Amino acid sequence: MDDGTTTPERHAVPNASVGIDRGVKTAVVTSDGDFHDREFLTPGEASRYRRLQQQLARTDKGSANRAKVRARMNKIMGRVTARRGDFCAQLAHQITAKNAVVALEDLGTRKMTASASGTLAEPGRRVAQKRGLNRAILDKGWHRLELALSSAARYTGTQVVKVNPAYTSQRCSACGFVTESNGESQAVFRCKAAGCRYAAHADVNAAINVKHAAGHAVSACGDLAARRSLKQEPEGRATGRSLS
Ligand SMILES: [Zn+2]
- Asked if 95 contacts 30 with a C-beta cutoff of 8 angstroms, the reply is yes
Of 13, 18, 11, the residue nearest 156 (C-alpha): 11
What pLDDT score was predicted for residue 128? 45
| Cα–ligand 1 centroid distance for 214 (angstroms) | 19
Reading the chain (244 residues) residue by residue, the pLDDT tens digits are 556 678 888 888 888 999 999 877 888 999 999 999 988 889 999 999 999 999 999 999 999 999 999 999 999 999 999 999 999 999 999 999 999 999 998 876 444 444 333 333 333 444 444 456 666 666 677 888 999 999 999 999 999 999 988 889 899 999 999 987 655 567 899 998 989 999 999 999 999 999 999 886 666 555 444 444 444 433 333 333 333 3
* Cβ neighbours, 10 Å, residue 21: 26
What gap in Å lies between CA 170 and CA 181, rounded to an integer?
Answer: 6
Residue 139 is among the residues annotated as catalytic for this protein: no
**Which among 32, 60, 203, 233 is annotated as catalytic?**
203
The pTM of this model reads: 0.74
Ligand 1 geometric centre to CA of 81 (Å): 40
Annotated catalytic residue within 105, 106, 139, 233 = 105
Residue 225 makes CB contacts below 8 A (sequence gap 6+) with none
Q: Is 32 a catalytic residue?
A: no
What residue ranges in the chain does DSSP mark as E strands?
17-22, 28-30, 35-36, 101-105, 159-163, 188-190, 199-201
Longest dimension (CA), the chain: 69
| 39 is known as an active-site residue | no
Catalytic residue among 3, 9, 21, 45: 21
**Rounded CA separation 19/215 (Å):** 10
Residue 191 — left, alpha, or beta (φ > 0 → left; ψ -120 to 50 → alpha)? beta
User: What's the gap in Å between 50 CA and the centre of ligand 1?
Assistant: 44
**33 CA distance to ligand 1 middle (Å):** 18
Neighbour-count burial of 24, counting CB atoms closer than 10 A to its CB (0-12 exposed, 13-18 middle, 19+ buried):
middle
- State the distance between the two ends of the chain, measured CA to CA, in whole angstroms: 28
